[in-house]
Amino acid sequence: MSPNRIVLVALMFAFSVMSYFDRTIMSIAGPQIMTEFGIAPTQMGSIYSAFILGYFLFMIPGGQLADRLGPRATLGLMGLAAALFTGLTALGGKPGLGTYLGVIPAFLAIRICMGVGRAPLYPACGSMGMHWIPTIHQARVQALIIAGSKACRSTATEAPLRARRAAKFGTHVSTRSMSLKAAKSSVGAAR
């Protein structure tokens, strides 16, 4: 494969990794958020699940968006949406959106929107692979992209590092750093 295609695959892999982080960052910060805002475990469970609801409901529309706008633009928008809603997670409490909506509705709305923003990932990557990757390499590329989210699960250091950062600096710093990483990924994809 050409160097440009390798960079393309690396960006799609990075988006897959970031998608996994977006799904799990709330569970890492969850105990501290529960303590800080007095959220019950069942309410926190609903907040955790809100991402999957938005992700599930908008997977097919996300694929249609990738068909309409093209995979490159869709991945760029998806990355910016992920950066936005990861950053907004730091503002879900009080003071912040929780002041106006209530803490739980604010976190629910942010997590649902984050799921909606991440929903086009795999359809857009599939479309990108179909158009840019030679047929002989497409299966390997798709496997690598999907492995991006699985690779994070086996990274034993990521969750403890994020938990330590959240404990030391607060959940706001941890979510802001993830927001910046997602924004950098989306700028790279839009080029």
pLDDT at 86: 85
Residues in contact with 142: Cβ distance below 8 Å, sequence separation at least 6, in sequence order: 125, 126, 129
d(CA 144, CA 153): 14
pLDDT at 156: 46
Q: Which tokens in the block code for residue 43?
A: 């309410």
pLDDT at 161: 61
Alpha helices by DSSP H, the chain: 3-37, 41-57, 59-69, 71-89, 97-101, 103-118, 121-132, 135-153, 158-169, 171-190
d(CA 142, CA 124): 11
Q: What is the pTM of this model?
A: 0.76
pLDDT at 26: 81
pLDDT at 169: 67
pLDDT, tens only, 33-44: 899 999 999 999
d(CA 105, CA 130): 39
Cα–Cα nearest to 45, from 54, 36, 34, 57: 34
d(CA 32, CA 56): 27
Q: Which tokens in the block code for residue 93?
A: 């409490």
**Which domains are present in the chain?**
3-184 (1.20.1250.20)
d(CA 131, CA 114): 27
**Residues in the chain, pLDDT under 70:** 151-167, 169-191
